[in-house]
């Protein structure tokens, strides 16, 4: 019976109910989109790292997995190439052009020994120092074909080839040209190493760690496992800030909605009290209405996260990638419900404590 009253109360004011559900859904969508984007982008970067075909990856000392600039001496590469069980070694220079886009300088001769080289869908490898290669995703986003010119890193590049995505980066240029342009002569950001057999990977890692001292030497498996939000403190903090904003939005919307509902239903509250309803009974009704709003908003928010993914991927065609992260559905819904319940507390307690005689006299 109480559930029927709750449901009918929400139906009685459809616009207010709908606005409450939409506001809560926006909160949930915000969280899921942000988490989905961080996971999507990180997964995509990890996938491209794996796509290089290397077994070992060498990085400079420091915390972040996102590296920009040359911090390692490229003269180590021939030394590494000569180590026992190493079949190929190469270095790349990563230079960030904006928050999510990086240009990568690569030495095609040594890079191709790792993996057979890029698989071209149009054009081919570098012919000139100012040539660039872009992957299909980048080409579609920027409407590029082989022979076109693009400006990046304050430099004009000629697109010599377009390759299948999933390897290394969206855009690559000759290593030497990028080193000169960015003042990183003989420097690289990352070194990749291919080993003859998988069984020898640990041994080669141990050997290189000992010889390279300050540099960090990872198996590709260990390295790609680092691509999670928890390894990027700023990103984790940002996610929690968005979660906090979401809770605040849910709290405020529900507070205003329930406060209005309590004022509007003052006489009804008086009637329920005259019938013998306890303060707990009155509060229970409002809490159930709130939970129902929050659950409906959460479900809508989850569905809307598919819409945001579609917008980002197919309409806006940005460089961002949003994954759908089902393991965050329950936490996002729980956050929405907690925020909503907090918002309901004050109006609920006000209703529960309402004097019955005053409420019955309310017009």
Q: Which is nearer to another protein, 2 or 149 (CB)?
A: 2
- In whole angstroms, the minimum distance from the beta carbon of 16 to another protein comes to 13
Which stretch, 8-16, 145-153, 199-207, 321-329, contacts another protein (CB under 8 A)? Answer: 8-16
Which stretch, 9-17, 35-43, 98-106, 315-323, contacts another protein (CB under 8 A)? Answer: 9-17
Token pair recorded at residue 64? 């972040």
Per DSSP, the residues of 77-89 read: HHHHHTSTTEEEE
Instruction: Give the three-state DSSP class for 26.
Output: helix
Per DSSP, the residues of 282-325 read: HHHHHHHHHHHHHHHHHHHHHHHHHHHHHIIIIIS--S------
Q: Does 268 sit near another protein (CB under 8 A)?
A: yes
Instruction: Identify residues 318-357 at the interface with another protein (CB under 8 A).
Output: 356-357
Q: Which is nearer to another protein, 135 or 289 (CB)?
A: 289
Q: Does 8 sit near another protein (CB under 8 A)?
A: yes
Q: Does 12 sit near another protein (CB under 8 A)?
A: yes
Instruction: Count the Cβ atoms, other than its own, within 10 Å of residue 314.
Output: 8
- In whole angstroms, the minimum distance from the beta carbon of 255 to another protein comes to 22
- In whole angstroms, the minimum distance from the beta carbon of 12 to another protein comes to 5
- In whole angstroms, the minimum distance from the beta carbon of 20 to another protein comes to 17
Q: Does 281 sit near another protein (CB under 8 A)?
A: yes
Token pair recorded at residue 61? 């000392």
Please, are residues 73 and 186 in contact by the beta-carbon 8 Å criterion? yes
Token pair recorded at residue 318? 């940005």
- In whole angstroms, the minimum distance from the beta carbon of 357 to another protein comes to 5
Q: Does 274 sit near another protein (CB under 8 A)?
A: yes
Among the listed residues 14, 276, 326, 327, the single contact to another protein using CB under 8 A: 276
Q: Does 277 sit near another protein (CB under 8 A)?
A: yes
Please, are residues 229 and 46 in contact by the beta-carbon 8 Å criterion? no
Query: Whole-angstrom Cα distance, residue 209 to residue 155?
Result: 37
Instruction: Give the three-state DSSP class for 155.
Output: strand
Q: Does 1 sit near another protein (CB under 8 A)?
A: yes
Instruction: Give the three-state DSSP class for 96.
Output: strand
Among the listed residues 272, 332, 333, 337, the single contact to another protein using CB under 8 A: 272
Among the listed residues 4, 82, 213, 327, the single contact to another protein using CB under 8 A: 4
Which stretch, 170-178, 184-192, 269-277, 288-296, contacts another protein (CB under 8 A)? Answer: 269-277
Query: Whole-angstrom Cα distance, residue 225 to residue 222?
Result: 5
Token pair recorded at residue 237? 């903090």
Query: Whole-angstrom Cα distance, residue 329 to residue 332?
Result: 5
Percent composition of the chain: helix, strand, coil (DSSP 3-state, to 5) = 60, 15, 25
Q: Which is nearer to another protein, 6 or 312 (CB)?
A: 6
Q: Does 271 sit near another protein (CB under 8 A)?
A: yes
Q: Where along the sequence are the contacts to another protein (CB under 8 A)?
A: 1-2, 4-5, 8-9, 11-12, 267-268, 270-278, 281, 356-357, 360
């Amino acid at each position: 019976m109480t559930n029927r009253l709750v449901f009918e109360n929400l139906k009685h004011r459809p616009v207010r109910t709908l606005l409450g559900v939409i506001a809560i859904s926006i909160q949930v969508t915000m969280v899921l989109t942000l988490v989905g984007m961080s996971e999507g982008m990180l997964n995509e970067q990890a996938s491209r790292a794996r796509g290089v075909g290397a077994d070992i990856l060498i990085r400079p000392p420091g915390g972040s997995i996102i590296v920009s600039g040359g911090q390692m001496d490229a003269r180590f590469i021939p030394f590494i190439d000569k180590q026992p069980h190493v079949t190929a070694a190469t270095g790349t220079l990563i230079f960030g052009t904006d928050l999510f886009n990086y240009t990568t300088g690569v030495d095609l001769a040594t890079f191709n020994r790792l993996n057979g080289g890029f698989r071209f869908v149009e054009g081919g490898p570098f012919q000139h120092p100012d040539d660039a290669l872009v992957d299909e995703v980048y080409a579609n986003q920027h409407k590029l074909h082989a022979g076109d010119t693009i400006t990046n890193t304050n430099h004009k590049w000629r697109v010599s080839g377009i390759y299948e995505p999933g390897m290394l980066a969206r855009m690559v240029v000759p290593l030497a040209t990028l080193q000169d342009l960015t003042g990183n002569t003989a420097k690289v950001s990352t070194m990749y190493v291919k080993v003859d057999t998988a069984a020898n990977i640990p041994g080669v890692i141990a050997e290189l760690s000992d010889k390279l001292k300050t540099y960090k030497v990872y198996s590709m498996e260990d390295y790609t496992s680092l691509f999670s939000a928890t390894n990027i403190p700023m990103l984790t903090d940002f996610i929690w800030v968005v979660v906090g904003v979401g809770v605040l939005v849910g709290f405020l919307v529900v507070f205003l909605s329930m406060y209005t509902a309590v004022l509007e239903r003052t006489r009804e509250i008086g009637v329920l009290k005259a019938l013998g309803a306890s303060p707990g009974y009155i509060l229970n009704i409002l809490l159930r209405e709130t939970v129902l709003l929050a659950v409906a908003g959460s479900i809508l928010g989850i569905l809307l996260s598919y819409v945001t993914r579609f917008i980002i991927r197919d309409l806006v065609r940005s460089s961002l990638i949003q994954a759908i992260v089902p393991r965050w559905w329950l936490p996002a819904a729980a956050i929405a419900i907690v925020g909503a319940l907090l918002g309901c507390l004050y109006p609920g307690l006000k209703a529960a404590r309402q004097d019955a005689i005053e409420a019955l006299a309310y017009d």
